[in-house]
Structures are given as structure tokens and as C-alpha cells.
Amino acid sequence: LSASVTVDPAFVVGPVRRRTFGSFVEHLGRSVYTGIHDPEHPTADADGFRGDVVELTRELGVSTVRYPGGNFVSGYRWEDGIGPVEDRPRRLDLAWHSTDPNLVGVDEFMRWAERTGVEPMMAVNLGTRGVQEALDLLEYCNVPGGTAWSDLRRANGAEEPYRVSMWCLGNEMDGPWQIGAKTAAEYGRLAAETARAMRMIDPDLELVVCGSSNSGMPTFGAWEHTVLTEAYEHVDHVSAHAYYYEEDGDLASFLASAVDMDHFVDSVAATADAVRAAGKHTKRIHISFDEWNVWYQKRAESRPPSGDDWPVAPVLLEDRYNVADAVVVGNLLISLLRHTDRVHAASQAQLVNVIAPIMTEPGGRSWKQTIFHPFALTSRHAAGEVLRLAIDAPTTDTARFGEVPVLDAVATHDAGTGEVVVLATNRSVTDEVTLDVDLRGFEGLRVVEALTLSNPDHTWSATADDDSSVAPRSNATAQVADGRLGAVLPPVSWSIVRLG
């Protein structure tokens, strides 16, 4: 198969946003306990945070980290997680049928975020709680001092306010599984009032209202319309969540998952714009795609414990990712970048152990899953502006999406350094794609580095003993001649070509 692409510096979608490369840490399974936090680990700091995980998070190139949930947040009492650790209560976590010992709370998380160099993105509980508790947490985090909650923070060791900018107004409130789930009208009112009151403390907050939990929800579209009609003037972003997995051996549809993400973003943007027009609003609402990833939700390890079993940090959602999963993750990042005009933030769900690029053994080794690589490389090298591409590619038939182009790609251009980065996925299950990229809009580009992630066995996955064999390899077929980049992309592959 062959495909042609034209890249031109004039066709700018918008800036590459660092917040596209966010992640997520939820009190779920071994994400916090034995994930980021493991006092017994040889690299643990005074708070018990693993140094090796901090280093891997930095290498992954994570910008923001959403915390503390997720479904967990809808039953969370944030006050349980402050003050002397030995005095903190153990609580049932109903979302994941676990026990939370509250060894990590907001103060520890903020110290971890600072040490890791990430921007914290907090979520408030709008499931079992409401406006007042959200205000209390905001006061604790962002008010410099002189009030009960802010002085308590100072007494707990944080003299300076955390000044958290991004706040999620609850989590997946459209989902029947959510503690305190609501109708769109109920939630829209609560979100609007919570946002309005939070802005009385800090008008500069960036607030994320809950959109749909996935594009297959029966209320998808209608939910966003109702919620935004209530809350439009009080919020900045609407959330989107999407998880993909290979179902019943249908690899072709799975590889085309980004088609659904494209549809999701376009639909939510259109709905937000419709509310904008009807409400005669001037500002635009942007999308925070604050949960996305590959997640094999039907596997047994996604099922929480039951009965009287309420374990601390059980093994939950510990998906082992293969090459095809990494190719899909790379393609989902292409989709997010392509929509940089509307997607202003995103969080891969999640960071450690739970559907995660980073895995840990309690007290022991940490290692990278296959999906680590496309995220880290895209985060490291995508810079400057995202360019709109003209792509001419053959199609492949999929059961879920019909005919889809075998090639998906995006490019970025950093006018400062002159570097152009082409990110491309070959979604064909069987055929390689010979790529021809017209670069004549630029002068004198040559290949700085070309890497391809693929494997003759697309089910190959990393282990603690070997997490490097599947790292992307140099692609020697990538060459520039006469202003054109040529490259051969193997089937089921993701590639990055840096040109400078």
C-alpha cells in the first residue's frame, strides 16, 4: 500500500499544548499505595514516595496529574487525608470495594507533584457531597492564610498555598455506576452553583464540567447540551472520557479506535458551539479529555472484590499492554494533537499500575509497558504548532467503523528550532505502507531521527525482566530527497520522524 501526505507550515491548527500530556493518579488498586507511594521501597523519600516512579514519570513527560479520582472521588472525604498520618481514619472506598488507609492525602500529593515537576489537577466530590465541601477544599489549597482551612494547611506544613488552577467538578456524573449519579439537569445545576461559588474565592480557576463517560452512553450529546446550558458561563472545559480495547479478536476495529476519538471530540465541540449560539455566549468551551487509554474492561482483573473483602490496594485493572495497544495509544495522541484547537487538556488514565504505562513491584522493580514509548516520544518531541495535513491513503474495512484510512498522521512544527515532527500510524493488520511526504513548504529538512514501534508479533508485551526489546527502533527507510520524505511503515505500527 502507498499513502501520500502534504505538510505545510501555513496550515496551523493551534499550539502544541503541554497539558495534552497529562496523566491521572486515582486512589484505586495499586495506583497510590505501592504505586507512587511505597515507604518500604529503597528509593522512598521522607513521605514514602518512590524515587524510581518519580524518575519514570519525568521520563514519560507528564505535564498535569489529575487526582484523587475517578470514581473514587465521588465518595471521598478529603479531610480524612490531612493532619498526622497516624490519626487518619481508614475508610471504605465504595467505588472499588477497597479500604483506604488515607496515608496519602492532598498535602502528600502536592509534595509528590512538586517533586515530580507536574501540575496538579484536582477533582471535587459532587457525588456524596456538594458546594460547601468543594469550597472548603479550595480554601485549604489556594487561600494564603488567615482562615480556618488555610491556617490548617499551614499548620500541616504548607506555608504557601498550592494555587491549584484546574479543578474537575465531580467525575462521570452521567454514569449509573457513579456514587451519587445525577440526571443532566440535576448535575448541571450543581456544577454551575459549585463553579460560581468557587470563583468567588478565585476567579481565575479553570473549571472542568463533566461531559459523557464515553461516546456510547445513551445520553451522549444530550447530556453535554443540558449540562452546558446550565453551566456555560461558569466553566471553561467539558470533560471527555474514552477507553478502547480489542474486542473478540477484532484487531482492525481496535486499530481504528482514534476514529471514535475524532468523532467524540467533533461531536462535543459541535454541541458546545450549539449551546454557545443558543445562549448568545461569546466565549468558547474547550475539551478536557481527562480519561483516555486502552483498557480491557471485561478482563477479570477489572472486577473489584466483593462481600466482606475490603482490601487495601488490591491488584485491580493491571492491564498488560502489547504492541497493538501501544500503536493505538500513539494514534490516540495523534487524534488529541489534531484537535488542539478544541482539546486544551488531556489525561491518560492512569499513571502507575492501574491501566498504566508504569508498573511497579511492591518494594521492588519498576518497569515500562509498551504504551510508555509513544507517550514519552510524543511528549518529548511534539513542539511549536500542530499542522493540518492533507492525507491521501487507501482504506481498510473495519467491522466497527466501516472503511477507514490505513494511515493516520499529524505533524508539528517548531518555528524556533525549525524542527518538524511527523507522527504516523499504520492501521493495516497485514500490509506495510510506503509513505511519501511532501515537505516542499519547508527548506532543507533532513531526517534527524526516525523511530518505529512494531513487532512481527503484535501481542508482544513487556515484563519486569525485559521492558526494552519492544522500545521503538530506528527506521532506516526514512529518507529525505528532493523535499520529499519517504518511509516504509510496517503493519500495526506507530512511527515518529523528526526532521530538522
Catalytic residues: 172, 291
Report in angstroms how near the CB of residue 179 gets to ligand AHR at its nearest: 11
> Are the beta carbons of 410 and 338 closer than 8 angstroms?
yes
Nearer to ligand AHR, 28 or 410 (CB): 28
Distances (CA, A) of 101 to 91, 288, 360: 7, 30, 20
CB of 478 to ligand AHR, least distance (A): 36
CB-based closest residue to ligand AHR:
70
Nearest CB to ligand AHR, comparing residues 26 and 230: 26
The binding site for ligand AHR (CB under 6 A) comprises: 26, 28, 69-71, 171-172, 213, 291, 349-350
Q: Do the strands 64-67 and 23-24 form a parallel or antiparallel pair, or are they unpaired?
A: parallel
User: Could you give the CA distance from residue 465 to residue 189 in angstroms, rounded to a whole number?
Assistant: 51
In sequence order, what DSSP letters do the residues of 6-62 get, joined into one string?
E--TT-EEEEPPGGGGBEE--SSTTSTBTTTB-TTSTTB-TT-BBHHHHHHHHHHT-
Query: Taking the complex as a whole, how short is the minimal distance between the CB of residue 213 and ligand AHR, in angstroms?
Result: 6
Angle at Cα 246 formed by Cα 241 and Cα 248, nearest 5°? 130
Q: How far is the CB of 160 from ligand AHR (least distance, A)?
A: 30
Q: Which of these, 363, 304, 414, lies nearest to 48 by C-alpha position?
A: 363
Is the Cβ–Cβ distance between 369 and 322 less than 8 Å? no
**For ligand AHR, the closer CB: 22 or 70:** 70
Q: Is the CB of 76 or the CB of 232 nearer to ligand AHR?
A: 76
Beta-bridge partner residues of 487: 435
Which CB sits closer to ligand AHR, 360 or 493?
Answer: 360
Residue 255: its H or E element: helix 251-255
Closest CA to 187 of 130, 135, 133: 130
Q: How far is the CB of 71 from ligand AHR (least distance, A)?
A: 4
Please, what is the minimum distance in Å from the beta carbon of residue 176 to ligand AHR?
A: 11
Distances (CA, A) of 123 to 36, 38, 166: 18, 23, 9
Q: Which of 292, 494 has the CB closer to ligand AHR? A: 292
Sequence-ordered list of residues with C-beta below 8 angstroms from that of 220, at least 6 positions apart, any chain: 212, 214, 267
